[in-house]
Amino acid sequence: MTAAALIVAAGRGARAARDGLAPKQYAPLAGRPVLAHAIAAFEACPGISSITVVIHPDDRDLYAASAPKSASKLKPPVPGGATRQDSVRLGLASLEREAPRHVLIHDAARPFVAPETIARVLAALETHEGALAAEPLADTLKRDRGDGTVSETVPRAGLWKAQTPQGFRYAPILAAHGRAAAQGRTDFTDDAAIAEWAGIAVTLVESPSRNFKLTTQEDLIMAEQLLRPEAPLWEPRTGTGFDVHAFCEGDHVWLGGVRIPHDRGLLGHSDADAPLHALTDALLGAIGDGDIGQHFPPSDPAWKGARSRVFVEDAAARIAKRGGRITNVDVTILCEAPRIGPHRDAIRNAIADMLGIEVTRVAVKATTTEQLGFTGRKEGIAALASATVLLPA
């Protein structure tokens, strides 16, 4: 009596791909890849005779680095298709020689599947044609009118959230997948839906909510916390920046995103907002991502006369892309004139708005240099900035 496990790990994760990150199933979780957790659960379940992982053809190296060497039931990976449904079909087809009695299909991005849940799905298959791990719905459901307002409350009695593993007798589910593909049906969101369509009776096996699917960066952080509650979730990073612009003919200066009337202007390719340039470098410095000159070269005509908030917003977006949060920024402006005090709150508000953080996280200070040096001689303005950022540990 054999039961094969088919772990589907062929997804690329649109968000991860856009951010240049490895797909979630290969992300590290408590010291090993997400995928390795799922493999270990099936390896530990005595009723499972073999484990096959369906991977994206481009992920062979990632897989080789992720697959546990000690899993004795693990067979060579199988290349998947363009959709999850296609990948499962190809995975099932790869088991034809093995011809197991049962097959359990599982999403690689559910690392918390317990060997007990796998065993209970297997046990259900002794008396049912199909069985899936599922969780009774706890939340009240609302239907959207289509404009963000509620049209009705949907009764939740009898509603379950489908999880994986989903188990079936091998031959009928292989045939059902083949028939769905032949008929061009590509709209099934899980294997139980294909089974239903094919007339295979499927039973529900209650499974804990802990067997959730990792979808977002936040899910990964939550998963890490579940497995290593003592480990820090966030790593503080600090960056500093410094910038100078010389005075020139003019009637205003831009400082911290605020236009301040003055009897001089500031010379620069962009709007010469030295505090925002220093701030941009501080933000980039905190995440080790180059500097303002690298991302916005003065030689590029695109930035001629640009509002410097563009540079700050780009740096903030780079932090957000890494899953980071800006804790606080601190900007110091060095000049004899204009006087910064009357504009301080406007500058703080402008910077808070650019960064999407509370104004209490933004400090703006000003000082003269006691008429010493180039700022003291009123030849230009200098600015210093520091930024503290939390990145996922």
Which uninterrupted H or E stretch holds 162? strand 160-169
CB under 5 A: which stretch of 51-59, 166-174, 237-245, 328-336 binds Mg ion?
237-245
Least distance from C-beta 318 to Mg ion, angstroms? 18
Candidate ranges 101-109, 206-214, 238-246, 377-385; the one touching Mg ion (CB under 5 A): 238-246
C-alpha distances in angstroms, 240 versus 273, 291, 303, 385? 16, 11, 23, 6
- The piece of 47-55, 64-72, 178-186, 277-285 that touches Mg ion (CB under 5 A) is 277-285
Contact 113, 104 (CB under 8 A): no
What is the torsional sign of CA 265, 267, 270, 274?
negative
Q: Measured between alpha carbons, how far is 100 from 94 in angstroms, rounded to an integer?
A: 11
Judged by CB under 5 A, does residue 271 bind Mg ion? no
Q: How far is the CB of 277 from Mg ion (least distance, A)?
A: 4
Site for Mg ion in 106-145 (CB under 5 A): none
Residue nearer to Mg ion on the CB measure, 266 or 366: 266
Nearer to Mg ion, 211 or 308 (CB): 308
Report the number of secondary-structure helices (H) and strands (E) in the chain. Answer: 13, 18
The binder of Mg ion chosen from 110, 177, 277, 348 (CB under 5 A): 277
Q: For residues 130 and 257, which CB has a smaller minimum distance to Mg ion in the complex?
A: 257
The DSSP line for 74-140 is: BPPPEE--SSHHHHHHHHHHHTTTT--SEEEEEETT-TT--HHHHHHHHHHTTT-SEEEEEEE--SP
C-beta of 43 vs 243, nearer to Mg ion: 243
**Looking at 142-150, 272-280, 347-355, 357-365, which segment touches Mg ion (CB under 5 A)?**
272-280
CA-atom Rg of the chain in angstroms: 29
Cβ-closest position to Mg ion: 277
Q: Does 243 bind Mg ion (CB under 5 A)?
A: yes
Cα–Cα dist 239/237, whole Å: 7
Report if residue 273 touches Mg ion, rule: CB under 5 A. no
* Length, in residues, of the chain: 393
Shortest Å, Cβ 268 to Mg ion:
6
User: Pseudo-torsion of CA 255, 259, 260, 266, nearest 10°?
Assistant: 60
Listed ranges 59-67, 76-84, 174-182, 276-284: which one lies at the site for Mg ion (CB under 5 A)? 276-284
Rule CB under 5 A: which residues touch Mg ion?
243, 277
